[in-house]
Structure 1
Amino acid sequence: MDQSAAVWLVLLVALIAANAPYFSDRLLLVGPKLKPKVFGWRLLELLLLALLTLGLGFLLEARLGQRQPQGWEFYAAGLCLFITLGFPGFVWCYLKRHRHG
């Protein structure tokens, strides 16, 4: 896999992972169904999926070459990007009016 494909793969995984907590009512995406699932659980899932996505990025970077050390700025910007990628799921879950029946 070349560097460009790895970048696109991480971005695609991040987009899916950032929206997954909002589209699932299951606890940690595989546990029992909660109706309604409180925002705290969704936030925890978002953080865990962000860490998994970061781990995938680190893994792909290590396979392509030497992993570069990063400062706190990298992690802050990455978390902001991850939260921004999850905006469509947040809008669908909390701001869109769901029709009943």
Structure 2
Amino acid sequence: MSAAGWFVVLLALAGANVPFLNQRLFAVVPLAAAKKSVWIRIGELIVLYFLVGALGFILEARAGNRFEQGWQFYAITFSLFIVFAFPGFTFQYLVKRR
């Protein structure tokens, strides 16, 4: 796998955990509520999936061998993105805090 491929995988791992590791919208915009709702986190997760996918698409096109993808590719990559979000989800919702 090329360096661009590893970059996209690491970016997906980081991007999948961003919604769960802070209380800001996309880790930048402060919200009025003290704690983000789960629906905002899910929305962030979906938007970040498309952003990482667009960056991967751009890097693949720059490499010169862009491949057409079917719905199966997007279903599998979204499922993998959800699996990448598990550490952040665990930290936010399953770890007990004192």
TM-score (norm 1): 0.91
CA contact (8 A) 2:16 2:45 kept: yes
Alignment correspondent of 2:74: 75
Alignment correspondent of 1:40: 39
Alignment correspondent of 2:6: 8
Give me the whole-angstrom Cα distance separating, in 2, the residues matched to 1:75 and 1:61: 15
Matches within 5 A, 1:77-96: 77-96=76-95
Which AA in structure 2 matches 1:51?
A: F
Q: Which runs of 4+ in 1 moved over 3 A?
A: none
Which AA in structure 2 matches 1:70?
A: Q
Give me the whole-angstrom Cα distance separating, in 2, the residues matched to 1:29 and 1:41: 12
Give me the whole-angstrom Cα distance separating, in 2, the residues matched to 1:64 and 1:81: 23
Higher strand share: 2
Q: Does 1:62 align with 2:61?
A: yes
Give 3-state SS (helix, strand or coil) of 2:29's partner.
coil
**Aligned partner of 1:23 among 6, 21, 24:** 21
Alignment correspondent of 2:96: 97
Identity %: 47
Structure 1 gaps, min length 5: none
Give the Å deviation of 1:18.
Answer: 0.3
- Aligned residues, how many? 97
Structure 2 gaps, min length 5: none
Give 3-state SS (helix, strand or coil) of 1:9's partner.
helix
CA shift digits 1:20-78 (9 cap, x unpaired)? 00001012322123321100000000001000000010010000013111000000000
